[in-house]
Amino acid sequence: MNLVFCSSAVIRNKKDQILIMSRKNKKTFRNCWEFPGGKLSNFEDYFEALIRELKEELGIDIAKNKLKNYIFTRHQYRAFLLMMYTFEVKHWSGQIENKDNETLKWISIKEIKKIKLLPANTKVINYFLK
């Protein structure tokens, strides 16, 4: 069984909206939305991976001490087992830019229930709504 380790971010703005990204340019789940983030590279921890991914995808800087541990989830996809650590991000520096050429969207927690999210991301949202 293939294991994939990744970090993701529930980025909240001052209106309590969450940032999601389309997957139209990805090979799988093109009709879904996801939280920003990505796979860990060699020797990275979950914090380092998220800081790197948010810089690459959105052009923002996150201080490690501003990351709140949020939730650890695992999800069995057909081809791999995903081990994902999701952090809540409320503070960053820089302007959010679309560096991945994916559609970015700010959405309320109520509205997000109507959006087709990746299955592992849905588990995170369900945790938010408890």
Residue ranges of the domains in the chain? 3-128
CATH assignment of 3-128? 3.90.79.10
Range name among 58-67, 76-85, 113-122 with the lowest pLDDT average = 113-122
Sign of CA dihedral 34, 39, 45, 50: negative
User: What element of type H or E holds 46?
Assistant: helix 46-58
Maximum Cα–Cα distance across the chain: 41
Q: pLDDT grade, residue 124 (50/70/90)?
A: confident
Span 7-35, pLDDT tens digits: 999 999 999 899 999 987 677 777 889 99
Span 76-117, pLDDT tens digits: 998 899 999 999 999 999 999 988 888 999 999 889 888 999
pLDDT of residue 19: 96
